[in-house]
Structure 1
Amino acid sequence: MRSVQALAIAVLSVLAISDVSLAGEPKSGGIFRIYHRDSPGSASIHEGSTYSINIPFMPVFNNLVIFDQHIAQNSTETIRPELAESWAWNGDNKTLTFKLRRDVKWHDGKPFTSADVKCTFDMLMGKSPQKFRQNPRKSWYDEVDDVTANGDYEASFNLKRPQPALLSLLASGYTPIYPCHLSPAEMRTKPVGTGPFKFVEFKANESIKLVKNPDYFKKGLPYLDGIEFTIITNRSTAILGFVSGKFDMTFPTEVSIPLLKDVKSQAPNAVCVVEPNNVSTNIIINSSGPPFDNIDIRRALALALDRKAFIQIMFEGQGDIGGTMEPAPSGLWAMPKDMMESIPGYGPDIEKNREEARKLMQKAGYGPDKHLQIKVSTRNIAVYRDPAIILIDQIKSIYIDAELDVVDTAQWFPKIARKDYSLGLNLTGNAVDEPDQSFYENYACGSERNYTNYCNKDIEKLFDQQSEETDVSKRKKMVWEIDKKLQEDVARPIIFHARTGTCWQPYVKNVTIMSNSSYNGYRYEDVWLDK
């Protein structure tokens, strides 16, 4: 049945491309110029924890399956075949088998086969002699027993138990297939893929360049001759470059609401969209040592937050309050508003919440005459620094004096993965709007991306229960209860979910910004320039 669905989807995709062509015949040629907000630590998507890597390097690769690049809300209904021609679950929903394309070559000319699929996931599961330096999404595949190659053009994922979410995880921009014949070290500096664009060069703190893959298996694509990213860490300077015509598009989802007004006033013909991006701004608390091993201090922090003030200051009110899962309507798994507002710290009476927080701080030995002195660590880019400064101001009200500690991008994720911080202001992007991704990756005991050392075995059992549930309505209620418990446990206090802007010049065609993930929409194979 699923194989038939995949075939039908492929036909519909071809028809959709035909419709686009009728609306305006795509033109081949041109370099797509985008500014980049910072310099990624490497070119290896599998070792990264930021879409600073996905955006420039997703065009180099392909997945087995991918979310439709022109439907803004990712869901199981928008999954399309890519390196796989079709897929099917077996009767007990514990084996997922992919039939693979036979006409695909790696950029170095070697053929793509099922061995590459097996190698990729063996590395992700930690079963390969070759190891990733960092493996932040290893927990995605905890329920995969093994991946088997059945001849050169069929691969099967054999699961320990049913996991309906697996297909969505495989469709993420974080799940490219890597070549078996290259090492993880080579992929960090000179990535080789099967995708529409080939890697040319990456000059740290300067630029990233890609060129058209003339042998791409999708005939007639890509339209562009190449893509060039210029690294500009100053956001105002980058915006000026866009409005002056130096760049064809801003860095995706990086234009703040106030800056959006500047863009529209200076470049009135620019096309700008504002979307939620399924990235939460949150507090990470290292609870393994003092002072935050004290639950009262952690709860006081959560009670001190004025979430609406953050949203008003940073986004002029265009943001959302929620838990771990992205708020509705863009988010598919958001808990109901009345349920959310019953969580301590989420109620509307901010002063009442802070009075309770001050009592907890006094219980822990702090007060008007004895303030807690800490550092708030954060990544040295504006979308991290700005809310960190607001956080520092807000927690003064509960006897906490904090100093800002900014960390370069290349060091930020390794630093917090080592738990080398006390309190941090972090952005957590959900690569897929899917509870398995968010819960296991960010909150499971021992997960590499569980930066807070939070570990609750009872809640982890609930993770497994919701993961196996095939009835979506039942699963949603289970997800809401888990999300509520995570907030009550002060596991990683969620401050807000952002809405951010992306702008492009009017001659740029076929760009779609996703509304429930900022990690999945950058293949750019059918983007074209009408000039």
Structure 2
Amino acid sequence: MTFSNRRRQLLRAGAAGMAGLSLPLAFEGRVFAAQAGVLSVAIPSNPQTLDPINQPNHDVMAINQLIFENLVGIDARGQRVPQLARAWTISPDKLTYTFDLQRGVNFQNGQPFTSADVKYSFDYVLNPANKAFRRPFWTVIDSVSTPDANTAVIRLKRPYRPLLDYMSKYMGIFPVGSREQHPADYFKQTPIGVGTGPAIFVQSKANDFVELKRNPAYWGKGEPHWDKVVFRIIPEESSRLASLMSDQTQIISAPPAQTFAQIRTSAGLAGDSRPSPTSPLMMCLNHRKAPFDDPAFRRAVSLVLDRGKICRDLCYGAVKASSMPFAPESQWYDASSAGSLAFNLEQARAALKSSKYASGASFDLLYVQPAYLIDTSSTALFIQAQLASLGVRVNLRPLDFGQMISQVLVGNHAAALTGFIAPPEPTYLLNALFRPTESLWKASGYESAELLKLIDDSYRVDDPAALKPILAKLQQVLARDCPAVWIGALEVQNLWRSNVKDFQVNTGFSLKLDNVYLAKA
């Protein structure tokens, strides 16, 4: 089947899905209707865990960020804001962070929140025996001390600029002793009473829903504005959209990109998008497997991709074309490095000819289906067709998100087409993928002392003017070695019912729901 014929089939299937949008949507034999005070939200992915220190899924972070809180938060626009710390100071040598904690905060079990809980939480994550998935983010911490109940001091081994940014997503504060008091799966499956957030866990059913209720004693006065929030697990794009159109859900993540512009203006609905300039759509390449052990072959793959066509015609503007890990509009983007990997069929053929796979190669390309963040099925087909023009065979292997991420995390893949979500910090994904001690390194197997030194150099500076030239040098290394193939920067898109008020699209993709309310009819 040709790419163009297959794409027409996909588009016809999408149109067929749109045709049934007026029908009620059933979940395992039940039909959920809108209820007063109940906010219903549709996400694509089934939670593997609700524990923030082990959470790999940004859709599900919307759930655990309502249960758990952190010292520092990130607002919808990517700016740092106070959370459990009402203020903080950083020492001149950038090694000591002193946090002035909020007063009058209790955990959902009634236990008062103090600096002892901060120390306990970080000490737990840092203990290798606890095998926290997010532990690598925090190994830079040398010690956590508690001068008094309202002050926590974190001392670092070396400067680490993104410390505060990572707190917002990859950490949670929980009560002293709580990990020992509860069974091993408690935080994963039923984290009742162990957070300070605006929502309390009620119940869940795999592949169906997660239900939370309003925390009546929440320290953030006046929030939340709903009595209950129910997360519906709806993997299919068309089904999520159908649930919104029929008012069985009020907010959906990852709407179909091809219909987003049209649907957002429909009566009774609203929608918006926001750039996530450090969150790329990319091909993650395993350097320990042929043919990606050859940098010339990796360069050929990058040069043969017409990113403009992919982003315009297949992603419908939900991705901004870029051959670097930053959007072209980002302050960190290096146009010269990006230009050296721009679509050029002649240069792609020359790069392939200079590789050890000049006579051709084949590899499996994993991609997520049903869609995660954005539907990549058409993009995978287009990549297959473009590489076929070089004599390279691509075998497409669709997997659901859980299956794919489990393969990628252990390096059991040659290439994977996926979106990666990053906080508004330029080195998060590069460090995670390309540093051997990090959680995603097996996904690439790439080693470069030069790149790691540049990342470490970037940690020592806060001033954008000083950071930019470091990141430019870093992108020059990426352009030379081609450790991954970047396609573009993702745009966050959401749709919601018009009676949903104060909802803001979050540049970090996870839905921010604490201050949302439903207007009365």
TM-score by structure 2 length? 0.85
Q: How does 1:516-527 map to 2 (within 5 A)?
A: 517-519=508-510, 522=512, 524-527=513-516
Q: Distance in 2 between matches of 1:470 and 1:235?
A: 40
1:528 aligns with 2:489: no
TM superposition outliers: structure 1 runs of 4+ over 6 Å? none
Q: How does 1:298-317 map to 2 (within 5 A)?
A: 298-317=298-317
Q: Distance in 1 between matches of 2:323 and 2:155?
A: 32
1:445 aligns with 2:436: yes
Q: 2:322 is matched by which residue type in structure 1? A: G
Q: 1:296 matched to which residue of 2?
A: 296
Q: How does 1:36-435 map to 2 (within 5 A)?
A: 36-69=43-76, 72=77, 74=78, 78-125=79-126, 127=127, 129-132=129-132, 135=133, 137-170=134-167, 172-183=168-179, 185-191=185-191, 192-251=194-253, 254-264=254-264, 267-277=266-276, 278-317=278-317, 319-329=319-329, 331-335=330-334, 337-341=335-339, 343=340, 345-346=341-342, 348=343, 350-360=344-354, 363-367=356-360, 372-382=361-371, 383-430=375-422, 432-435=423-426
**How many pairs does the alignment contain?**
475
Q: CA deviation at 1:511?
A: 0.8
Q: 1:174 is matched by which residue type in structure 2? A: Y
Report the secondary structure of 2:293's partner residue: coil
Q: Distance in 1 between matches of 2:175 and 2:128?
A: 13
Q: Structure 1's 410 and 123: CA in aligned 2 closer, same or farther, altered over 3 A?
A: farther
Is the 8 Å Cα contact of residues 264 and 272 (structure 2) preserved in structure 1?
A: no
For structure 1, the 5+ residue unaligned runs are: 1-27
Is the 8 Å Cα contact of residues 140 and 440 (structure 1) preserved in structure 2?
A: no
Q: 1:288 is matched by which residue type in structure 2? A: R
Q: Distance in 2 between matches of 1:504 and 1:355?
A: 46
Percent of aligned positions with the same letter in both sequences?
23
Report the secondary structure of 2:185's partner residue: helix
Q: Distance in 2 between matches of 1:326 and 1:429?
A: 12
Is the 8 Å Cα contact of residues 257 and 500 (structure 1) preserved in structure 2?
A: no
Q: CA deviation at 1:410?
A: 2.5
Q: How does 1:448-467 map to 2 (within 5 A)?
A: 448-450=439-441, 451-467=443-459
Q: Structure 1's 177 and 436: CA in aligned 2 closer, same or farther, altered over 3 A?
A: farther
- Determine which structure has greater relative contact order: mean sequence separation of CA pairs < 8 Å that are 6+ residues apart, divided by chain length: 1
Is the 8 Å Cα contact of residues 325 and 333 (structure 1) preserved in structure 2?
A: no
Q: Distance in 1 between matches of 2:314 and 2:307?
A: 11
Q: CA deviation at 1:280?
A: 0.9
Q: Distance in 2 between matches of 1:63 and 1:478?
A: 30
Q: Structure 1's 129 and 409: CA in aligned 2 closer, same or farther, altered over 3 A?
A: same
Q: Structure 1's 102 and 378: CA in aligned 2 closer, same or farther, altered over 3 A?
A: same
Q: CA deviation at 1:325?
A: 4.2
Q: Distance in 2 between matches of 1:446 and 1:463?
A: 14
Q: CA deviation at 1:300?
A: 1.9
1:438-497 CA distance string (max 9 Å, x none): 332222223111211111012211111121124320211111220231232111110111
Q: CA deviation at 1:209?
A: 0.8
Aligned equivalent of 1:31, options 23, 38, 42: 38
Report the secondary structure of 1:435's partner residue: coil
Q: Distance in 1 between matches of 2:92 and 2:333?
A: 31
Q: Structure 1's 86 and 388: CA in aligned 2 closer, same or farther, altered over 3 A?
A: same
Q: Distance in 1 between matches of 2:95 and 2:478?
A: 29
Q: Structure 1's 176 and 380: CA in aligned 2 closer, same or farther, altered over 3 A?
A: same
Q: CA deviation at 1:232?
A: 1.3
Q: CA deviation at 1:437?
A: 2.1
Q: Name the stretch that deviates more: 142-151 or 445-454.
A: 142-151
Q: Distance in 2 between matches of 1:488 and 1:138?
A: 31
Q: CA deviation at 1:319?
A: 3.1
Q: Structure 1's 102 and 384: CA in aligned 2 closer, same or farther, altered over 3 A?
A: same
Q: 1:7 matched to which residue of 2?
A: none
Q: CA deviation at 1:207?
A: 0.6
Q: CA deviation at 1:273?
A: 0.7
Q: 2:346 is matched by which residue type in structure 1? A: K
For structure 2, the 5+ residue unaligned runs are: 1-34
Q: CA deviation at 1:339?
A: 4.4
Q: Structure 1's 246 and 233: CA in aligned 2 closer, same or farther, altered over 3 A?
A: same
Q: Distance in 2 between matches of 1:512 and 1:404?
A: 36
Q: CA deviation at 1:317?
A: 4.3
Report the secondary structure of 1:512's partner residue: coil
Q: Distance in 1 between matches of 2:239 and 2:463?
A: 49
Report the secondary structure of 1:310's partner residue: helix
Is the 8 Å Cα contact of residues 324 and 488 (structure 2) preserved in structure 1?
A: no
Q: Distance in 1 between matches of 2:304 and 2:362?
A: 16
Q: Name the stretch that deviates more: 254-263 or 217-226.
A: 254-263
Q: Structure 1's 264 and 204: CA in aligned 2 closer, same or farther, altered over 3 A?
A: same
1:498 aligns with 2:500: no
Q: CA deviation at 1:356?
A: 2.1
Q: 2:269 is matched by which residue type in structure 1? A: A
Q: Structure 1's 52 and 500: CA in aligned 2 closer, same or farther, altered over 3 A?
A: closer
Q: 2:257 is matched by which residue type in structure 1? A: I
Report the secondary structure of 1:238's partner residue: helix
Report the secondary structure of 1:97's partner residue: strand
Q: Distance in 1 between matches of 2:165 and 2:58?
A: 18
Q: Distance in 1 between matches of 2:38 and 2:212?
A: 9
Is the 8 Å Cα contact of residues 487 and 493 (structure 1) preserved in structure 2?
A: no
Q: Structure 1's 148 and 303: CA in aligned 2 closer, same or farther, altered over 3 A?
A: same
Q: CA deviation at 1:272?
A: 1.0
Q: Structure 1's 115 and 436: CA in aligned 2 closer, same or farther, altered over 3 A?
A: farther
